[in-house]
């Protein structure tokens, strides 16, 4: 296609010289790092909340209970049985509450905790009191302390996934999430740049001059290829900043998270997903004179890449459910969802294959349609086409 | 005149049921400036876009005679185009835009850079070579657009409203460059609504209306065929008016000035001979009906002449 390489070079060089692009390129990963660091910083500066309860210990078990709460943020202070004084201290907001450990607690398993106002109670306190109650009751049945410890020991749940060979792996969830997030940003970032680029061609009244030198398909393809390259540049820069931060500062074992066998499949879905949305964005950008006059139809196009967000909940809830399977095969959600889903479940070969074929066919059809719309749209000035008009363009172009 | 460079034969373009261009035929030769005229919506831009290969005709043939060969596909590297809807990438630098557009025409970067500087210097824009387009005035930007359309020395140049928005000084500059292009052997297709400039520049005229040819031929022939003579006199004696004459189609008195339009084909000298020997005429001027009048009559649906 004559002229494609010129358009490609033009799109790449003028963006790489553009201050806004360069600032965005470097600022985005910094914003991500900042967002990642803010909670840690806040936690560093913000002392976690401490709880203090007054305890009327009629059972003589306060020391046991305190031992169970060691290292937690709960402090227990003994107090005599003086309801008025206790009430006064709780209402004065000096302590979080008070409770009485007596036979009622042991026999009925009921423990009123008196507080000034309803509030979150630390899990550690609940767990310690539960353990204490079990121990007292079992001891009263004359059980050996070793048996007691054995019976009351809480199980440890360690999720451990297996790869195809049956070996113990950490799973490819982090890689799936990482890839799908990168693809999402690639589509959104490059897509909006492409949209603006096509729109600019018309806004700056350049389309007719350019189209007198090269065919519309070369302009269309050159823009898509150029912005794909720019998108890859963005991703590479982001990774170049993000990976060392993750590896060295956050101590994330990146090597454990990479499943090389999945990379080709992810690359295919990334490429097709990009091409699909790029074609839609360029085609639509070519129909518009300015952002201010965008119609509802054109505005809706910007929503399309966000569709996977609507199904993330159901996919995490049930990665093999009907919604997750549909979103894997539906071409507008398939690129991000297929990659993401492969982190939560083992996708069958046929699912990979059908999703890829459907995406490939849809991408081919959309590119053809978008190129037709682009061809007509680039020469139309002063009005935004409605759906009927777009269909007419598709028929006659 | 020399060889034909572009021939348009029986070209038709339809949009839905509307026939925007209907069996249009004309040719442009090397060194010729053809005025391509017509009211708004007459089919000019559609025809030009077909010539530039931006859209394809539904019927008919467009042939380009380049390097001794006949081509039915537009040789895009050999044509230059200044469209009516034109602009420049606002955020880019002047030199970058020129290099990009020259590159699309197949020019190598080194030649394109040297040629761009030559043209910018000729148009007094050398110091703006590396300025951003958005820093240019409208007239400056128009000069850059003109440069972009001719930087590659095209064989065929299509200029759609090149003078719109230009001040008289820059109009003269553009006129000189257009004449120079034709003198160097390019064929020029010039579309403009500024009839005085068209009259000054063009060797021939093609007038299109409702998608159809209305007039086509050399400027002289058209004016000779359709443009009757106009006689304008300053009469010194109050109350005296030339006697009614069968040679006159219409006349008008405005103070001391008397103007009459002769019937088509009437030689002015015959009319002057028909006047009395003692006619009190102080000043006398003779002109053809202007292209402007021919255009206006055509646009209003009348028969030119």
Q: Are A261 and A172 in contact, with CB atoms under 8 Å apart?
A: no
**Maximum distance among all Cα pairs of chain B, rounded to whole angstroms:** 74
User: CB A210 to CB B104 under 8 A?
Assistant: yes
- Report chain B's mean pLDDT, rounded to a whole number: 90
Q: b/e for B12-22, b at 16 or more Cβ within 10 A?
A: bbbeeeebbbb
Co-location of B6 and B67 in the same domain: yes
- Owning domain of residue B4: 1-75+156-223
Domain annotation covers residue B295: no
What domains are there in chain A, each with its CATH number?
A: 51-152 (3.40.190.10), 171-396 (no CATH)
User: CB B90 to CB A210 under 8 A?
Assistant: no
Domain annotation covers residue B38: yes
Picking from B189, B223, B257, the residue at the C-terminal end of a domain is: B223
Co-location of B111 and B142 in the same domain: yes
Mutation target vs A (from B87, B96, B150, B191; most A CBs, 10 A cutoff): B87
Residues of A whose CB is below 8 A from B52: 211-212
CA neighbor of B5 nearest in space, from B35, B36, B23, B26? B26
Q: Are B98 and B128 in contact, with CB atoms under 8 Å apart?
A: no
Between strands B281-288 and A51-57, the pairing is unpaired
Co-location of B71 and B195 in the same domain: yes
Q: Inform me whether the C-beta atom of residue B108 falls under 8 Å from chain A C-beta atoms.
A: no
Domain annotation covers residue B294: no
Which secondary structure element, helix H or strand E, spans residue B158, and what is its range? strand B156-160
* pLDDT on residue A294: 65
State ipTM: 0.81
CA neighbor of B49 nearest in space, from B79, B90, B17? B79
Co-location of B178 and B67 in the same domain: yes
Between strands B59-66 and B69-71, the pairing is antiparallel
Q: What is the pLDDT of residues A256-267, one digit of tens each?
A: 777 788 888 999
Q: How many CB pairs under 8 A join A and B?
A: 64
Of A6, A205, A396, which is closest to B87 when you measure between CB atoms? A205
Domain annotation covers residue B82: no
Q: What is the mean pLDDT of residues B115-127?
A: 95
Tens-digit pLDDT string for chain A (397 aa)? 678 899 999 999 988 888 888 888 888 777 877 776 677 667 667 666 788 999 999 999 999 999 989 888 899 999 988 888 888 888 887 788 999 999 999 999 899 999 888 777 888 899 999 989 988 888 888 777 777 778 777 777 766 655 555 444 456 788 888 888 888 888 888 888 888 888 888 878 888 889 889 888 888 889 989 988 998 888 888 888 878 877 777 677 777 777 788 888 999 999 999 999 999 988 888 888 776 766 666 677 878 888 888 888 888 888 888 999 999 999 999 999 999 888 888 888 899 999 999 999 999 999 888 888 888 888 777 677 777 878 877 776 6
Domain annotation covers residue B137: yes
Six-digit token pair at A303?
């929503």
Co-location of B3 and B150 in the same domain: no
Q: Inform me whether the C-beta atom of residue B85 falls under 8 Å from chain A C-beta atoms.
A: yes
Of A3, A13, A379, which is closest to B104 when you measure between CB atoms? A3
User: CB B87 to CB A200 under 8 A?
Assistant: no
Q: Which of residues 18-57 of B touch A (CB under 8 A)?
A: 49, 52-55
Co-location of B94 and B233 in the same domain: no
């Amino acid at each position: 296609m004559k002229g494609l390489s010129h358009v490609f070079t033009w799109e790449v060089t003028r963006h790489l010289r553009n201050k806004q692009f360069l600032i965005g390129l470097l600022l985005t990963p910094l914003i991500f790092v900042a967002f990642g660091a803010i909670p840690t910083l806040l936690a560093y500066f913000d002392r976690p909340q401490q709880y203090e309860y007054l305890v009327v210990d009629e059972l003589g078990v306060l020391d046991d209970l305190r031992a169970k709460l060691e290292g937690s943020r709960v402090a227990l202070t003994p107090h005599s049985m003086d309801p008025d004084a206790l009430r006064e201290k709780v209402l004065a907001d000096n302590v979080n509450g008070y409770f009485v450990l007596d036979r009622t607690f042991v026999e009925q398993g009921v423990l009123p905790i008196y507080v000034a106002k309803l509030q979150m109670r630390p899990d550690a306190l609940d767990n310690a009191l539960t353990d204490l109650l079990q121990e007292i009751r079992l001891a009263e049945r004359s059980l050996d302390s070793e048996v007691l410890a054995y019976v009351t020991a809480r199980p440890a749940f360690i999720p451990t996934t297996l790869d195809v060979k049956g070996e113990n792996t950490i799973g490819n969830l982090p890689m799936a999430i990482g890839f799908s997030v990168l693809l999402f940003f690639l589509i959104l970032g490059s897509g909006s740049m492409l949209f603006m680029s096509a729109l600019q061609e018309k806004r700056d009244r350049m389309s007719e001059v350019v189209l007198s030198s090269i065919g519309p398909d070369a302009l269309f393809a050159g823009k898509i290829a150029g912005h794909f390259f720019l998108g890859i540049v963005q991703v590479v820069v982001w990774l170049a900043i993000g990976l060392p931060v993750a590896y060295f500062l956050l101590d994330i074992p990146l090597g454990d998270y990479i499943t090389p066998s999945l990379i080709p499949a992810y690359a295919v879905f990334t490429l097709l997903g990009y091409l699909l949305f790029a074609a839609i964005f360029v085609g639509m950008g070519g129909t518009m004179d300015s952002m201010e006059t965008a119609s509802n139809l054109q505005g809706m196009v910007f929503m399309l890449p966000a569709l996977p967000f609507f199904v993330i909940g159901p996919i995490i809830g049930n990665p093999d459910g009907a919604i997750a399977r549909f979103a894997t095969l539906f071409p507008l959600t398939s690129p991000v969802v297929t990659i993401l889903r492969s982190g939560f479940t083992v996708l069958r070969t046929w699912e990979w294959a059908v999703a890829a074929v459907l995406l490939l066919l849809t991408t081919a059809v959309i590119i053809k349609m978008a190129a037709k719309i682009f061809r007509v749209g680039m020469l139309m000035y002063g009005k935004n086409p409605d759906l009927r008009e777009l269909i007419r363009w598709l028929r006659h172009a | 005149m020399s060889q034909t460079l572009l021939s348009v034969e029986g070209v038709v373009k339809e949009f839905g049921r509307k026939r925007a261009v209907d069996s249009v035929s004309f040719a442009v030769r090397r060194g010729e400036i053809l005025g391509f005229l017509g009211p708004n919506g007459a089919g000019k831009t559609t025809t030009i876009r077909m010539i530039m290969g931006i859209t394809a005709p539904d019927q008919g043939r467009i042939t380009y005679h380049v390097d001794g060969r006949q081509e039915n596909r537009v040789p895009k590297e050999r044509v230059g185009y200044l469209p009516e809807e034109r602009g420049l990438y606002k955020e880019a630098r002047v030199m970058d835009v020129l290099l990009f557009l020259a590159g699309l025409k197949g020019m190598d970067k080194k030649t394109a850079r040297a040629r761009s500087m030559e043209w910018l210097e000729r148009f007094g824009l050398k110091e703006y070579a590396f300025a951003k387009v958005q820093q240019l005035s409208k007239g400056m930007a128009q000069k850059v657009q003109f440069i972009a359309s001719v930087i590659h020395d095209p064989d065929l140049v299509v200029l759609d409203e090149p003078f719109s928005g230009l001040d008289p000084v820059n109009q003269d500059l553009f006129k000189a460059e257009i004449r120079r292009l034709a003198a160097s052997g390019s064929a020029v297709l010039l579309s403009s609504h500024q009839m005085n400039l068209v009259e000054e520049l063009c060797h021939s005229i093609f007038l299109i209306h409702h998608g159809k040819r209305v007039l086509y031929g050399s400027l002289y022939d058209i004016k000779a065929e359709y443009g009757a003579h106009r006689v304008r006199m300053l009469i010194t004696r109050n109350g005296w008016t030339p006697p009614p004459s069968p040679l006159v189609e219409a006349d008008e008195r405005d103070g001391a000035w008397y103007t009459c339009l002769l019937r088509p084909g009437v030689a002015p000298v015959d009319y002057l001979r028909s006047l009395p020997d003692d006619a009190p005429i102080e000043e006398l001027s003779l002109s053809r009906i202007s292209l402007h009048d021919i255009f206006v009559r055509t646009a209003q649906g009348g028969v030119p002449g």
